[in-house]
A = this chain, B = another copy of it.
């Protein structure tokens, strides 16, 4: 999206201020609770353009209380991981896909453009600075969280004249160990995650804040996540904050792995794309981007045509679905052997941890 004419910060201008008091690294705790010693901050203003990128000690942000990210949701984020391989090399998994999606979200949020390759190089340098924080384990990783917020210090709703791009790093345990727990999903058509003409295909904060109360209603009904439906025909769209896949024998008797198409309401997940590309390479069954309705799922379950259903995302990678509660029925989804889920998880982790050479990883 950016070309050489896009005004952008440059990684060559990066300034590094190291902390004088590095933290003691604790055991890997809950996802996203422990942060590393440094962060990347890059300021932008309409008057001055981009300032030089700065790696500085991790610490609080000082924000004007009228700041547009706090009032009008002018904010977006990304998430990907750095993995320490068996060879002790650090790898980022397809980070350029995150950079591109971030540029797209920035355009949607009316935040300024930047050169994606320059940002990625700054992030690579940040991970390098905090490399000791990348766990020595193939069950854990370092989560990279780029964030981009409007810092316009006034209340009129308008394109921000100031903005802040920053990146923080946090240790992450690995969700999918020897055998993942299957989740139960609450499918209630009264909840809508995203809609045509909205921001469901961008990683903007508003998509998440509006989903939270549905998540708690799911929990009240004994489920772990929401299965987000759309339209009068109750199309399956996403599960919690994951893309969703159905492995089944379809209406025509063909074995198929299906996920909803990128029609504006689906987040274009990097794991989603990787699963599509991987399974298409196998050439063993149909791999399609298509609409799936709850009616189709229910019929397939009755006729025992469902093999597996799973969610995908950077945080969990792959998460099998065990149950869907829908219109008073608790639908059991086959997940005992989780053959496909396990195979995809193994192939992806082999790439992420460097056991399978692949150009999907970027060495730090």
Contact = CB atoms under 8 A, between A and B. Distances in A.
Interface of A: 30-33, 35, 39, 58-67, 69-75, 77, 107-110, 143, 145, 147, 149, 154-159, 166, 168, 170, 190-192, 195-199, 204-213, 215-216, 241
A65 B72 contact: no
Contact of A73 (B30, B60, B170, B204): B204
B63 A60 contact: yes
A209 B32 contact: no
When all copies of this chain in the complex are counted, the total is 2
The 10 closest A-B pairs by CB, nearest first: A206-B206, A32-B155, A73-B205, A192-B197, A73-B209, A72-B208, A195-B195, A73-B206, A33-B154, A73-B73
A71 B75 contact: yes
Given A73-B208, A110-B213, 7 more contacts: A32-B155, A60-B65, A65-B166, A71-B205, A74-B205, A110-B212, A204-B206
Q: Give chain A's interface secondary structure class.
A: loop
B209 A66 contact: no
Contact of A210 (B39, B69, B198): B198
Of A73, A147, A154, chain B has the most CB atoms within 10 Å of the CB of: A73
Given A32-B156, A197-B191, A70 B72 contact: no
A28 to B, nearest CB: 14
Q: Report which residue of A75, A190, A197 has the largest number of chain B beta carbons within 10 angstroms of its beta carbon.
A: A197
Contacts of A60: 62-65
A31 B72 contact: no
Nearest to A200: B210
A293 to B, nearest CB: 17
Contacts of A170: 66, 155
Contacts of A199: 206, 209-210
A198 B198 CA distance: 11
Contacts of A65: 35, 39, 58-61, 147, 166, 168
User: Which one of A33, A69, A71, A208 has the greatest number of beta carbons of chain B within 10 Å?
Assistant: A71
Contacts of A143: 155
A196 B190 CA distance: 8
A156 B208 CA distance: 11
Contacts of A74: 205, 208-209, 212
Nearest to A150: B209
Contacts of A154: 30, 32-33
B159 A212 contact: yes
Contact of A208 (B30, B157, B168): B157
Given A61-B63, A154-B30, A209 B213 contact: no
